[in-house]
Structures are given as C-alpha cells and as structure tokens.
C-alpha cells in the first residue's frame, strides 16, 4: 500500500441472509482511493452503491474481504473502535440531510465535536469556520425548518467537515434537491476537493459523476467499469 492510498478494498463481499435466501449485495470489490482524490460511485438502483458506502463509513461490516483505512485494517474492529473512527476520521453527507430539528444550525454542526469531549472554545472556532466554508455562518442561529433544502444540505456539509475528517462520504447528496440547488451543492463539493478534501460520492446521476476525478460503475455488486473524468 503506497503512502497516498487512503482506502484499499481487497475482495470485499457482503451477503445478506433473510429467510434462508442469500442476497449478494457486493460480490468481490477491489478498489483504492488516494488521498485528495474525488471518486464517484455510480450504477443502477440495487447495484450495491449504498451498501459499499456503508462499509466504507464503518456503518456496516463486510462478510468477506479486507478494508484498509489510512494504513490500518478496519474490517474486524469492535463497535466502540468503529464509532471512534467514524467520529474522528469520516464525514458523512446524507441525501436526507439528517439534521436535528430542535437544534440550531450552529448546534447541529457543533454536535460531533461535543461527542469528542472537545473544549467549548475549540468547538466554537471549528464550527464557525466550517459554516463559513459553506456560506452559512449568517444562519447559525436558525433552525433547520427555517432553511431551504439547499441550505440544509450546506449545513450538513459543514457538520461533515467540522471534525477535519480524512474523507467525506456523500450518499446521493443532491437526491432531495432541485437541479439548481443540486448543482450548487456539487459546486461546493468541488471547491472543497480543490482545497484538498478527499471525497467519495454515491450518485445515480451521470451529470454529477462528472464532477469527480474518477468514476467507478457498479453492476450486480461488482465493479464493471472505471473511467477518469475530464471535469464537471
């Protein structure tokens, strides 16, 4: 594994067992993501995109295969260690925003740092910086219900950034947005990538896959094609 490889997947499989039926969601994935790279994972519904992202984010475990994150095997870690790595090394951006309705914008962004036990002054500095990066510092006292969908997703991006993660994982980040807001969020992600962020995004929309450096196409739980993109 070279120094610039942040993620290495070797023979990753995921099988779901229900009522004596085996569903092979992932059927032997081999994939690397380098530090500073922007990778889009695309393919039809049911091809294994979200399952793969869940494993990358340590929300799920593979049935077989190896997953090395920043030089460390993580496929067999205890739940407490997985939670610690998720909090400190991975930033999540979800299709449904997943903001907490009775917390302000600022409190939503600050929350992951509170779980770390970080001091209030450092939490405040990081949260304000993160909101400034996404252009939402002027709304920090608002509640999610007072924001548009595009604004809520910007806050969700700020929350993902605040812990200075090794990688941002975005699961259909434009799925609940109209085309104008979707493109604005994609422009934001591109700017973050140009600033050095490593991003792995699941999308079904080929327009948005073109924002990435590289596109990985899944079909029936396998990588069937990889292509280098030429700009979005």
pLDDT digits (tens, 9 = 90+) for 46-59: 889 999 999 999 99
User: 10-22: per-residue pLDDT in tens?
Assistant: 999 999 988 888 8
Give the pLDDT of residue 229. 65
Distance CA 67, CA 75 (A): 6
Helices 120-133 and 105-116, packing angle to 10 deg = 130
- What is the pLDDT, as a whole number, of residue 182? 92
- Strands 167-171 vs 199-202: parallel, antiparallel or unpaired: parallel
Find out if CATH 3.40.50.170 is the number for domain 37-62+78-228.
no
Residue bearing tokens 């994150």? 69
Instruction: Report the alpha-carbon distance of residue 7 to residue 20 in Å, rounded.
Output: 33
Measured CA to CA, the distance from residue 68 to residue 66 in angstroms comes to 6
Residues 40 and 190: their CA atoms lie apart, in Å, by: 12
Q: Of 141, 140, 198, which is closest to residue 169 (Cα–Cα)?
A: 198
- pLDDT for 225 equals 83
Q: What are the sequence ranges of the domains in the chain?
A: 37-62+78-228
């Amino acid at each position: 594994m070279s120094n610039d490889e942040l993620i290495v997947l070797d023979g990753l499989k995921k099988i779901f067992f229900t009522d004596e039926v085996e569903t092979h969601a992932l059927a032997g994935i081999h994939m690397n993501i380098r530090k500073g790279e922007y990778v889009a994972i695309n393919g039809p519904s049911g091809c294994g995109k979200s399952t793969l992202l869940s494993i990358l984010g340590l929300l799920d475990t593979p049935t077989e295969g190896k997953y090395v994150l920043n030089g460390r095997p993580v496929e067999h870690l205890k739940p407490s260690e997985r939670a610690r790595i998720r909090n400190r090394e991975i930033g999540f951006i979800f299709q449904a925003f997943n903001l907490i309705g009775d917390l302000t914008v600022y409190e939503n962004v600050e929350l992951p740092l509170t779980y770390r036990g970080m001091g209030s002054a450092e939490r405040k500095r990081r949260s304000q910086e993160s909101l400034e990066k996404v252009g939402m510092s002027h709304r920090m006292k608002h509640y999610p219900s007072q924001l548009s969908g595009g604004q809520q997703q910007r806050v969700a991006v700020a929350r993902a950034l605040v812990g200075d993660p090794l990688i941002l994982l975005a699961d259909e980040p434009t799925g609940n947005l109209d085309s104008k807001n979707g493109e604005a969020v994609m422009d934001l992600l591109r700017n973050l990538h140009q600033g050095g962020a490593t991003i792995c995004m699941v999308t079904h929309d080929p327009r948005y896959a073109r924002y990435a450096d590289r596109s990985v196409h899944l079909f029936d739980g396998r990588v069937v094609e990889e292509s280098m993109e030429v700009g979005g």
